[in-house]
Amino acid sequence: MQTRRALVIGGAGAAALALAGLGYRAWDRGVWSGGEGPAYSPWSDWKGKSADGIKRPLRAAILAANPHDTQPWLFKIGENAITVFADRARNLGTFDPFRREMHLGLGAAVENLVLAASAFGLAAEVVPTDGMLSPSPGDTPAPAAHVALAPTRAARDTLFDAIPNRHTNRGPYRADQTIGRESLRRYADLITSDAVRVVFVEDKHARGELGALIVEATDRIIGDPQMSADSARWLRTGRRDIAAHRDGVTIDTAGLSPLMTVASKLLPDMDAKSADGYWLSMTRDTQVLTAPVLGILLVRDRLDMRGAIQAGRAWQRLHLAATVEGLAAQPLNQPVECIDRNAMVGKADSFGAAIVKFAEAPGWEPTFIFRLGVAERAATPSPRRALNEVLRT
């Protein structure tokens, strides 16, 4: 009897311990706290206050889209101007060998800065830095754009209001819910300039072809150990990892179902090969397959710094406009990443020629590919570093 009772008590104790262990792991891995905590507070205190002066619009700037959430920016405050620097140490290595995507991200931050400045009564004049991007540049910060700010009458834009609601959505979209021609035309009008053009690919057959290129490029990337490793450096899997770095691509933003999100957090981290395989299947079977519209941003020369800043501004604007209308968006830029990688290693490239076929725009080349649609699930915010961490003295 004594032994039986001891066994029952012992069994209950072991179960309690196991539960406590599971509870600890769940807490440690942020199962219940996805998208919460100090790493996410910039999404709620994004408007600042008038006492912040010229720095005020920067709270919006740091919420911009940027590659792998590297947040490759630094801001230097001047008398009546802000200089946006590329924090080139925060790079994706061989995944972005010319730092072209880095400059698109800086352009996206500039766009949020301009929208917020206008809402706070500051007219912004942006002058991107002239020059060409070169392979594997040094890590020292380099100026990317100068933004002069002058007092004006405050003007509110719906795009400004959408800033804290814009998140990259990597989950399934409703394949049968197309986007109206009117909306697409409006988006095109909103971002077309001498420097940037957009092409929407709606036709099922054409979408299939462009989608196949995106999948093929993903396959190339995961077959390139260096690109795969350079991407993996920016993946954040646990609560502590996120709290310490406040950057990177997290499990919560991977577009998984709620059940898969919990499972991915509780289970040990996947090895690099499995994670790459998962990315490929997500791209092929969810992201490309369910996208009702794919799109391409074109520039005159993808390695021209001004063009990259302008294309980044265009993407941020387009994503904000889509957010206003309740639409989801996600960059799927693997083919252009492959073009850059091929150029870096001196390998013949076939992606560039294959993509321009969708554009019929001689003299223009692709710099950014994305999808738009109606999402099945809302996206979670990604972490951000605090503003004071990105001010340059």
Binding site for ligand FMN (CB under 6 A): 65-69, 101, 104-105, 108, 167-168, 170, 249, 330-334, 382
Nearer to ligand FMN (CB atom), residue 66 or residue 118 = 66
Non-local CB neighbours of 194 within 8 Å, separated by 6+ positions: none
Nearer to ligand FMN (CB atom), residue 122 or residue 210 = 210
Exposed/middle/buried for residue 289 (C-beta within 10 Å: 0-12, 13-18, 19+)? middle
* CB of residue 66 to ligand FMN, shortest distance in Å: 5
* CB of residue 116 to ligand FMN, shortest distance in Å: 15
* CB of residue 196 to ligand FMN, shortest distance in Å: 13
* Helix (H) / strand (E) containing 187: helix 181-191
Nearer to ligand FMN (CB atom), residue 292 or residue 383 = 383
What's at 53, amino acid-wise?
G
Non-local CB neighbours of 51 within 8 Å, separated by 6+ positions: none
Distances (CA, A) of 190 to 38, 144, 202, 304: 34, 23, 19, 22
Nearer to ligand FMN (CB atom), residue 290 or residue 382 = 382
* CB of residue 89 to ligand FMN, shortest distance in Å: 18
Give the Cα separation of 117 and 77 in Å (integer): 14
Non-local CB neighbours of 332 within 8 Å, separated by 6+ positions: 214, 283, 287, 288, 294, 369, 370, 371
* CB of residue 105 to ligand FMN, shortest distance in Å: 4
Check if the beta carbon of residue 286 is closer than 8 Å to that of residue 171.
yes
Nearer to ligand FMN (CB atom), residue 80 or residue 136 = 136
Give the Cα separation of 64 and 115 in Å (integer): 11
**In degrees, to the nearest 5, what angle opens at C-alpha 6 toward C-alphas 3 and 9?**
150
* CB of residue 221 to ligand FMN, shortest distance in Å: 10
* CB of residue 310 to ligand FMN, shortest distance in Å: 13
Nearer to ligand FMN (CB atom), residue 70 or residue 118 = 70
Bridge partners, residue 295, by sequence: 200, 370
Nearer to ligand FMN (CB atom), residue 167 or residue 317 = 167
CA within 13 Å, CB half, 258: 5
